[in-house]
Amino acid sequence: MNQQCINVLFLSSGNSTRSIMAEAILRRLGGERFRAFSAGSHPTGRVNPLALEQLRLRGYPTDGLASKSWSRFSKEDAPPLSLLIGVCGKVVDERHPAWPGSPPQLYWNLPSPGTVQGSDAEVRAVFSSVCARLEQAMRELIELPLEQLEPEEALARLHDIGPR
């Protein structure tokens, strides 16, 4: 991953919650070194309001966040992707587009906060937990000296990080 800016695409099925949170978090924490994007295999066309609320509570900008299809990132005019990170189990089993450059892929299987049943407080607690786990994972990602590692070593180190 010896390139100037590391472009990361976060993938989920609906691109409404987890991948959106990941995009917003890395956009701020990654500074100039990272560019973050998100997309879904079956985008809902809307961002979950509780995901936006959680991001705002933590000080992350939410302007421009939108649910979109992952097909836009498989086209020739798409940004060159350095890394793909799936944040839901559904995308693991789905047929992916042919990603230009065949970037490495990781999967962080996080619970889907948008499907949680319970009281308002219980649902918000799950959103908060998922957001906190993503923040920690982004900090781990940012700390890796990816530009200095050989591709095999970078991939091995990437597999050691992520939400637990």
Q: What's the whole-model pTM score?
A: 0.93
CA distance 113 to 131: 10
Sequence-ordered list of residues with C-beta below 8 angstroms from that of 146, at least 6 positions apart, any chain: 1, 6, 82, 154, 157, 158
More confident residue, 3 or 45: 45
CB-CB contact of 88 with 44 (8 Å): no
59 Ramachandran zone, left/alpha/beta (phi>0; psi -120 to 50): left
CA distance 51 to 49: 5
| Span 100-154, pLDDT tens digits | 888 999 998 888 998 889 999 999 999 999 999 999 999 999 999 988 888 889 8
More confident residue, 92 or 129: 129
CA distance 40 to 123: 22
| Predicted local confidence at residue 98, as pLDDT | 82
Average pLDDT over residues 14-38: 97
The fold for domain 6-159 equals: Rossmann fold (3.40.50)
